[in-house]
Structure 1
Amino acid sequence: MSEKKNNQVSRRQFLNYTLTGVGGFMGAAMVAPMVGMAVDPLLKADGSDDFQYVMDVDEITDEPQRKTFYIDQQDGWYDTEAERTAWIYRDENGDILALSPICTHLGCVVDWETGDHGNEFFCPCHYGRYDQNGVNIPGTPPEGPLHAYEYQIEDGRLYLGRANPREGA
């Protein structure tokens, strides 16, 4: 004799399934925005490869010139125009150098030929010194050379990209 199976769901099972489903849906609704915020920056294109016009190539001299330029920057969902500065000049070989003015010691701003420091970049915060090529002078606080901007030349115009660390003393 065959027994009939009871396919009915009890009240207790129905409530258990319903509450588990609703709780799972509410948990997913709370976690989804957090996951979205964490993953969103990874999915966006990096705009740091954009090059910005700074000056004409024929204006570049052997003496470092401080030039300011602006880049579009996105902080989360807030778009701004950020100011950047570079020391631009030709080295002894005639090659263009575009150096960041940010000291590699603690992030202060370096200046060219200030005070008793001729033909040097000098950081007044902790007396950091760099030679004319932006390489740190041994015995001073900076542990690396000034970062160099990537650059492109198009139609006699200089465009700067991001500043990258360099190998040095």
Structure 2
Amino acid sequence: MSNHEHHDTAHQPVHRKEMTRRQFLAYTLGGTTAFLAAGPVLPMVRFAVDPILTKKTEGTYVKVVEESKITSEPQEFKFQIHQVDGWYESDPELAAWIAKDDQGNIFALSPICKHLGCTINWNTQKDNQYFCPCHEAKYTKEGKNLRVAPNPLDEYDLKLENGFIYLGPVKPNTKV
């Protein structure tokens, strides 16, 4: 390559690749479509993610009954809780079987059978046991499973305050 040829190539204008009309329209339509699609998608993503990111609060206790009304014979008490499930708020009515054990300690059992989730009753067969009428599961007064059910009845977290019984979340049975 001679000095003269090198000189000619150095002074030629730089040829830039220009965008065609078709490319311009494709980029413009693609960007507009992405922008418009983000409008409905972002609220849906936020709806799905926000409940996961919210801080979990400690289980709250609900005032159920006066301590003086509790006997050694289990009694059913109904109470309402306020729950928030994602964006849905509700106030379902729950029930608990509350009694005193042989040492005089108060405990509360969930009425949900551990076999298939039916509702149990106390002493319907005059044998001082909880009985599930659906599949004939039986439990002791403390919730120990005797027949059919694979696990004991769940227990409510319980605290006594100012002469009242407050129930919290359900936990595995600690009495049996």
Shorter chain as denominator, the TM-score bin is: 0.7 to 0.9
Larger Cα-atom Rg? 2
What secondary structure is seen at the aligned counterpart in 2 of 1:49? coil
Instruction: Select 1:158's aligned residue among 140, 151, 165.
Output: 165
1:1-169 mapped onto 2 (5 Å cutoff): 1=11, 3-6=13-16, 9-46=19-56, 49-116=59-126, 118-137=127-146, 140-166=147-173
Q: TM-score, normalised by structure 2?
A: 0.82
Identity of counterpart residues, as a percentage?
42
The TM-score normalised by the length of structure 1 is 0.85
Q: In 2 relative to 1, CA 168–145 (structure 1 residues): closer, same or farther, beyond 3 Å? A: farther
Separation (CA, whole Å) in 2 of partners of 1:126 and 1:110 = 10
Find the aligned partners of 2:159 and 2:173 in 1 and give their Cα distance.
18
State the Cα RMSD in Å.
Answer: 2.3
Answer yes or no: is the 8 Å Cα contact 1:54–1:158 preserved in 2: yes
Residue aligned with 1:126, SS: coil
**How far is the alpha carbon of 1:46 from its aligned partner?**
4.5
Mark the runs of 5 or more structure 2 residues left unpaired by the alignment. 1-10
| Number of residue equivalences | 166
After superposition, the C-alpha distances for 1:104-144 in whole angstroms (9 at most, x for unaligned) are 1111111111124x22111011000001110101xx22110
Q: Output one character per residue of 1:77-103: Cα deviation in whole Å (capped at 9) or x when no partner.
A: 443321010000111222221000010
Q: What secondary structure sits across from 2:29 in the alignment?
A: helix
Deviation at 1:156, TM superposition (A): 1.9
| Farther off after superposition, 144-153 or 32-41 | 32-41
| SS of match in other structure, 1:15 | helix
Q: Which amino acid aligns with 2:123?
A: E
Q: Would the alpha carbon gap of residues 47 and 109 (structure 1) be closer, same or farther in structure 2, given more than 3 Å must change? A: farther
Contact 1:136 1:168 in 2 (8 A): no
Q: Any unmatched runs of 5+ in structure 1?
A: none
